[in-house]
Chain A
Amino acid sequence: MTGPTTRRSAIAAGVAALVAATAPRRASAQGSTRPKPAKSSRSAAELERLFTRMPASGPQLSAADTVPGTDNWTRPALRLARRITFGLTPAETQRALRLGYKGYLEYQLNHAALDDAAVETVVAANWPRVLQPAAQLVQVDQGLLYQHLTDAMLYRQANSPRQLYERMVEFWNDHFTIYFQKVGYLQITDYRDVLRANALGNFGTLLKASAHSPAMLAYLDNNVNRTGSPNENYAREIMELHSLGVDGGYTQRDVAELARCLTGWTLNAQGAFTFSASQHDFNAKTVLGVTIPQRATNSGQGQQDMEQMLDVLIAHPNTATFIATKLLQFFLRPDPSATQVAAVANAYTKTGGDIKAMLRVVFTESWMTAAPAKFRRPHHLMVSALRAGGAVISPSAASLSTMRGYLTQMGQVPFDYETPEGYSDRVEYWSGNVLPRWNVMSGIASAATGQFVVSDATFTRFGSTASAILDSIDLMAFGGEMSSRTRGDLTTYLTAGTINAARIRETLALALSSSAFNWY
């Protein structure tokens, strides 16, 4: 397997030139005949009062956003809130503005203090399989397990107050991706006991948990990695994708030697980790310059080879750099500077891999306000739209098959990415499949009944005039920062016919389909 940068990254220079020559030109506002924005019935000042303690005037933000409709993103706390949540809600917007940038960051970082009992009660009642140990799941129908795993995840992302925590679970779920169709029930325990348990904890603890995870060992074929017939798959990926990075300074010989350290790391029939001494290669190894001594086959020490190497990988400076880079790319910008990477890596090194410490650096306010808008991946788009619409997910429905269908249409089926680099986070990967995104936005905005419901009352909280409805959509989808152009275009659509429930919902669908919502 090759690495994350190998799948769809750079292209050969000659070809790049040719492809570039045929690529469309950048959008230009020249010749624009955009309609004049309609006047809001509410002044900006009035809107601000809706959000209580709005800062009188924010700092000057960079002109980083060339995405149309984002020109009015003036409040740093909302920039942060868009990035660290699965989408704004009126309540979350209000909270972020009340707490301010740093206050809101700390609020979300201190996830254990956020009461998620209501959400967990629904999860336990409807998708109890996600709470059960592997031994209880081994005989259960895989389709049912997949439904519980996916639906519980979606419900938590849409409803949990622990938004940054859920975003970090999403991040690690790509970083330590596993293919459900290959490992089945084991992924339930991995998602819970590895990813969720450590999402905002310590990276070293997380990496070790993953290395001992039966799902990961099965996914990357370490369960057939035996002395005399080594399988290098996991040995390669733990360095290339999980710790050092593809340019992390290891060689093919290091891969082969690490594979020998990993021989015998497997799982038993009950889906539990086990070290099989009879499958382990007890001869001496050298990995990344570290010598592992030959051990007696009856020493009981065979498992130590890899335990020792895990500590080496965790302490390696290239791991700090690699994790820092990925966090910055996920949360801040696709092209973090060397200074930014070094600062986050330094937090890793100083704290021994504390994830919160790294995030505090990633979310440096001046970096965030200068960061370009980011294109939402389909999964994020869907959950954000549900949150914007205040969609009430019906716990009694028990099955969120409509949402799973939406993710299939948009091409980001959960736990279904086959190869170990995980779903791409690059706009180029996702940009081709636009129509399903629009259709899913339309489906969510029109959900008056069913597995989730966007209620009519949502739209009329400020009244039922066109302007009041636009204010409501502004608050739902844009945190009160809808650009005048988006507002004008939406007003044109809303007022082009009789304003009724259908037209209002269509207007919301267009708002959710707009550039300003598809970037965040």
Chain B
Amino acid sequence: MTDRDNDACGCQEYNTLSRRHFVMNSAGAAVLGAVMPDWLPRVVLAQTASSRDIIVYVFMRGGADGLSLCVPWGDANYYSSRATIAIPRPDATGTVKATALDNVLWGLPPSMLGLLPAYQANQLLLIQGAGLTYSSRSHFDAMRFIEVGKAADPSISTGWLGRHLATVPPMKAAATLRALSISQGLPNALEGAPKALPIPDPANYVLGGSSTTRAARQAWLNSEYSFTEEPVRSAALDATATLALLSSLNINAYAPSNGAVYGNNSFGRALRSAAALIKADIGVEAIQVDIGGWDTHQTQNPLNGQMATLMTTFAGAIGAFWSDVLQGTGNYNVTLVAMSEFGRNVRENGSQGTDHGRGSCMFIMGKEIAGGRVYTRNWQPLARENLQDSQDVKVNVDHRDVLAEIVKNRLGNNNLDLIFPGYTPTFQGVTR
């Protein structure tokens, strides 16, 4: 490798960390060599003992309707506001109805039952009425402000995850790839991250053309780009190193644990790849995955239509990820966060859909997450007088309170003033 690896951090924690990893790697290789799973043919499995979590950040693009994701079945206002698109109460007759998450108010829609095991294991937390406190109903502004980590500040363009990674030593000193987005381009949240790449399909990240000459062409490009201008040089060298790294894994043959089934859709495949990369223990510490399609202005149908299909995909893959990576005694430290840029109006519109609103529901999953509950702050019944602008779920939990607590307590980074500039977070007890 190049001298770049020594630039990251000169601090004591870095040195301790890298030494420990080196030791663990050597020991791990000796012990585990014989029982290596065949999807990891050439990678040494190290059971890292870092106390820091890897973060999987799921962005639900389009403005996901929090009241369909986490159903307030105990609130009559919900049913009076949603004549055609409400999820029936758990005690309703019929089979298509909410499953209670507590005794009085909250439930999961039938399409989201894939999340129930994680919830019942107290490792899944739902935060209702969360989001961006800055008032915006523009998808693009709201997404950008959330991903940047500060609203309406043109002087900041890097993302909160990018700044987190830039201000913490790598989990593995020699990591080739510290962060990736499973997408065509790097999302705003990861901008500014060192060793971060957009990789649309980690299972098929290869240099095209003849496989016979691939290695030679890759070497040629690596040499060519080692002389070129920044920032292209770094990105190119990260790409060639990642090509070698990912080709040493066989993600296509990856076999999830505990019979987990991700679903053969782009979101399911993305989380499956994320699980494979985490288990490969190659030093990836942040993975962003997008799931779009939540902009349900028309025929939302969260029971058996458009939104139900999407929620099945969403919950199925995240539930599979829990079974695969977090369930049982596996030693993978991961926090998963799923959120949207905003929720939708409490009252349905004239086309059996909902228009852009404010507060939505965040999903936080992990072994050290204080889960098994629906967390709210100052929640009030959804009567018109209690709503934001008389129409929306209020944002009573700032998303930065949630993310900052995770950054500090689970990702081991105290630089909250750099990650969420100009904001003093109030922790909400998201982590144990």
Binding site for B on A (CB under 8 A): 1-3, 5-12, 14-15, 18-19, 21-27, 29, 32, 66-68, 246, 375, 408-409, 411, 418-419, 427-428, 431-435, 438-439, 442-443, 446, 489, 493, 496-497, 502-503, 506, 509-510, 513-515, 518-519
CB neighbours (8 Å) of B231 from chain A are 23, 427-428, 431-432
A515 touches B225 (CB 8 A): yes
Q: Which of B78-86, B154-162, B378-386 contacts A (4 or more CB under 8 A)?
A: B154-162
Distance to closest chain B CB from A226 (angstroms): 17
B243 touches A435 (CB 8 A): yes
A7 touches B230 (CB 8 A): no
B228 touches A435 (CB 8 A): no
B154 touches A12 (CB 8 A): no
Alpha-carbon distance between A209 and B235 when the two chains are bound, in angstroms: 41
Distance to closest chain B CB from A181 (angstroms): 11
B window 202-242: CB within 8 A of A? 205, 207-210, 213, 216-217, 220-221, 223-237, 239
B239 touches A489 (CB 8 A): no
Alpha-carbon distance between A66 and B228 when the two chains are bound, in angstroms: 8
CB neighbours (8 Å) of A32 from chain B are 227
CB neighbours (8 Å) of B217 from chain A are 493, 506, 509-510
CB neighbours (8 Å) of B154 from chain A are 2-3, 5-6, 9, 246
Q: Give me 11 A-to-B residue pairs in the complex whose CB atoms sit less than 8 angstroms apart, sorted by A's number.
A: A2-B141, A2-B152, A27-B229, A29-B227, A68-B224, A68-B228, A427-B229, A432-B185, A439-B207, A493-B216, A510-B220
CB neighbours (8 Å) of B226 from chain A are 27
CB neighbours (8 Å) of B166 from chain A are 15, 18-19, 22
Alpha-carbon distance between A439 and B243 when the two chains are bound, in angstroms: 13
Binding site for A on B (CB under 8 A): 2-4, 7-9, 138-141, 144, 152, 154-158, 163, 166-167, 184-186, 191-192, 194, 196-198, 200, 205, 207-210, 213, 216-217, 220-221, 223-237, 239, 243, 418, 421
A12 touches B141 (CB 8 A): no
Find the B residue at minimum CB distance from A68: B227
Distance to closest chain A CB from B82 (angstroms): 25
CB neighbours (8 Å) of B9 from chain A are 22
CB neighbours (8 Å) of A503 from chain B are 213
Alpha-carbon distance between A68 and B147 when the two chains are bound, in angstroms: 35
Please indicate which of the listed interface residues B166, B197, B209, B230 has the most CB atoms of chain A within 10 Å of its own CB: B209
B157 touches A10 (CB 8 A): yes
Alpha-carbon distance between A432 and B238 when the two chains are bound, in angstroms: 9
Alpha-carbon distance between A506 and B216 when the two chains are bound, in angstroms: 11
Distance to closest chain A CB from B17 (angstroms): 15
Alpha-carbon distance between A15 and B233 when the two chains are bound, in angstroms: 22
CB neighbours (8 Å) of B163 from chain A are 15, 18-19
CB neighbours (8 Å) of A433 from chain B are 184-186, 197-198, 235
CB neighbours (8 Å) of A24 from chain B are 2, 4, 7, 230, 233-234, 237
Alpha-carbon distance between A23 and B4 when the two chains are bound, in angstroms: 8
Distance to closest chain A CB from B78 (angstroms): 28
Please indicate which of the listed interface residues A1, A22, A411 has the most CB atoms of chain B within 10 Å of its own CB: A22
CB neighbours (8 Å) of A446 from chain B are 209
A510 touches B221 (CB 8 A): yes
CB neighbours (8 Å) of A489 from chain B are 220, 223-224
A11 and B213 in contact (CB under 8 A), knowing A22-B8, A22-B166? no
Find the B residue at minimum CB distance from A4: B154
Distance to closest chain A CB from B9 (angstroms): 8
A509 touches B209 (CB 8 A): yes
A22 and B194 in contact (CB under 8 A), knowing A27-B227, A27-B228, A419-B140? yes
A1 touches B207 (CB 8 A): no
Alpha-carbon distance between A246 and B166 when the two chains are bound, in angstroms: 29
Alpha-carbon distance between A2 and B200 when the two chains are bound, in angstroms: 28
Alpha-carbon distance between A431 and B139 when the two chains are bound, in angstroms: 26
